[in-house]
Chains A and B, each alone.
Chain A
Amino acid sequence: MQSAGLMQSVDWFPLWLSLRVACISTFASLMIGLWLAYVLANRAFRGKELVDAAAALPLVLPPTVLGYYLLVAVGRESAFGRLYEWTFGQPLVFTWQAAVVASMLHAIPLLVKSARAAFESVDRTFEMAARNLGASEWRVFWRITLPLARRSVFAAGVLAFARSLGDFGTTIMIAGNIPGRTQTVAVAIYDAVESGNGALARSLVLAISALSVAILYLANRIERRKQAT
């Protein structure tokens, strides 16, 4: 077979799209997930464990169910969908931004779970001492709680990134399978296998596998180095 020619013809767009989606999704998930985890770890309010359970729901529901919920929640007919369309001049569904939302739905529960445990494992006396020394809650979080929990939070962030990189079910339901626009790696591989394009499938599978291993290896190394200091 003319493998060199095939390599030439492989469309790498899905890989770049996946990376972009994963980066944005991880960043946004960190914002929301860490905030939610901090609230769950530090505030006492009614229905707290209910919120915790709801936050973990995406981990157990079938991706198609999540996709359906999302279509209902952010579709063109919904309030959010209309607001989005009014603001950005285009609907959210069946765009690559929708893939970001789909990835976040999986990344946030992972982050909330591990970050809550991480924040709760920080010795409360450090936070009490910081407050006693006049630090605002904001300062306590950024200077004390987060740095002391950084290893677990970092690990959770890497996990969320890796998870975002490979989302399939929810993404295909809400972002669709539009080559060159919303086709992420996972969707492209499915598409390639379905249409009998084995060479393309192999290339993408190898690339995404290598990338994932590299990320996890790098994350481990960074974490190891942090532990040493």
Chain B
Amino acid sequence: MIEVRIRKRFAPGPESAGFLLDVEFQAGPGVSVLFGPSGSGKTLTLSSIAGFVKPDAGRIQLDGQILYDADSRVCLRPQLRSCGYVFQNYALFPHMSLRENLTFAAVRHARLERYRAVSEMLDRFELGPVSGRRPHEVSGGEQQRCSIARALIGNPRLLLLDEPARGLDLPLRAGLYRVLRQVRAEYQIPILLVTHDLDECFELGDRMLVVREGCLVQTGTPSAVRERPASIEVARLLGLTNLFRAEIVALDPGRDQSRLRFEGFELSAAYLPGHLIGDGVWVSIPAEELRVTSGVRPGPNQASARLVSTHQRSQSVRLEFEGELSVDLPRAEFEKQKHNKEWLIEFPAAALRVIEGVAANENTR
């Protein structure tokens, strides 16, 4: 169990704006993903936990042991923190073989145990045949496994990974995910993973911590965060499409209905508990839940729109309409409709999701 509460202020310099890191969270065994855009303070948080950076205030506690506490002026050296750290570029020592890299890290093992412990680790991560080679003589996947093995050989109580998949191609990425799932199953320790890749959150994350501008803005399982983003900013970070501002013009709890007015048209949605008529809300509409037909006269919950562009994707086709409205169609469906002149977009009531959090800045769009 890792408990973190830290603050660190960076004064604005001549070329950089000031930055305030202020995060508080706890994480138990399993993978917790720190997700956020570049420069939001994710890596800084990891560095503070590992002891490379000293925060200004707060406290970091790992399994009940205090690693850092501003009030009692405790700040353990990185050597004493037993946090495994996997660096972005792996940081394997280039002048040592893979086995030597692991042996270097096995100082906590008794001298006689060391060779056996290293061999076991090499086998577990399928590095036996290449253990005598230097890092630059082995493949990217082997380097990656070696860096994880090296971080784990000292039996850390916490594993920190800083964007481990950055710059990897798809097969390597899949290999990494497989290794990390194996690590999660074999070691009952908290794993903190920093990423700005959304797919990685869903692939690995038991929990997701959304970081933005040095603050933690939402925590939860990845799917819960995606279903119910706490604010319009989180929705944007998650890459949700079709974020629109709307006004509630009617609420009918009896028929479980409400009506929302957008710029130029009105749509029916499910009843919105806890809202009043006249409220302004943000609505997100998943692009894959929209339907399109050919026609000019909009029926109920339909709107006509002008097609701006189409984009081929691996699994679907994205249609972009005027007013920043996107629709994802399965390929087969697109083939049937691609000769449409006029387009009608149908909004199923269930597709309209109101973002419940209060937007930090209402008029950003």
Chain A residues with CB under 8 Å of chain B are 123, 125-126, 128-136, 143-144, 147-148
B150 touches A133 (CB 8 A): yes
Determine the chain B residues whose CB is within 8 A of the CB of A143 once the complex forms. Answer: 104
Partner of A126, one of B77, B78, B85, B91: B91
B321 within 8 A of A: no
Number of B residues, CB within 8 Å of A: 24
Partner of A129, one of B51, B77, B82, B85: B85
CB contacts under 8 Å to A, within B146-182, are 150-151, 154
Q: How far is the CA of A131 from the CA of B84 in the complex (A)?
A: 11
A interface footprint on B59-103 (CB within 8 Å = 1, 0 otherwise)? 000000000000000000111011111010101011100000000
A124 to chain B, nearest CB (A): 9
B107 within 8 A of A: yes
Whether A133 touches B104, Cβ cut-off 8 Å, given contacts A128-B52, A148-B95, is yes
B27 within 8 A of A: no
B108 within 8 A of A: yes
Counting chain B CB atoms within 10 Å of each CB, which of A130, A134, A144, A147 scores highest?
A134
Q: How far is the CA of A130 from the CA of B77 in the complex (A)?
A: 12
B217 within 8 A of A: no
Q: Which residue of A lies closest to B105 (CB)?
A: A133
Whether A134 touches B79, Cβ cut-off 8 Å, given contacts A128-B52, A129-B85, is yes
Total contacts A to B, CB within 8 angstroms? 54
A126 touches B79 (CB 8 A): no
B50 within 8 A of A: yes
Determine the chain B residues whose CB is within 8 A of the CB of A132 once the complex forms. Answer: 50-52, 78-79, 81, 83-85, 151
Whether A131 touches B95, Cβ cut-off 8 Å, given contacts A125-B87, A125-B89, is no
B79 touches A144 (CB 8 A): no
Determine the chain B residues whose CB is within 8 A of the CB of A128 once the complex forms. Answer: 52, 78, 85, 87, 91
Q: Which residue of B lies closest to A133 (CB)?
A: B105
Question: Could you list 21 examples of A-B contacts with CB < 8 Å?
Answer: A125-B87, A125-B91, A126-B93, A126-B94, A128-B52, A128-B87, A128-B91, A129-B87, A129-B93, A130-B93, A130-B104, A131-B78, A132-B50, A132-B78, A132-B79, A132-B81, A132-B84, A133-B104, A133-B150, A134-B107, A135-B107
Determine the chain A residues whose CB is within 8 A of the CB of B94 once the complex forms. Answer: 126, 148
Determine the chain B residues whose CB is within 8 A of the CB of A148 once the complex forms. Answer: 93-95
A130 to chain B, nearest CB (A): 7
5 additional contacts (CB under 8 A) given A129-B85, A132-B85: A129-B91, A131-B51, A132-B78, A133-B154, A134-B154
Determine the chain B residues whose CB is within 8 A of the CB of A131 once the complex forms. Answer: 51, 77-79
Q: Which residue of B lies closest to A147 (CB)?
A: B95
Q: How far is the CA of A143 from the CA of B89 in the complex (A)?
A: 20
B106 to chain A, nearest CB (A): 9
Determine the chain B residues whose CB is within 8 A of the CB of A135 once the complex forms. Answer: 79, 104, 107
Counting chain B CB atoms within 10 Å of each CB, which of A123, A133, A135, A147 scores highest?
A133
Q: Which residue of B lies closest to A132 (CB)?
A: B85
Q: How far is the CA of A130 from the CA of B222 in the complex (A)?
A: 33
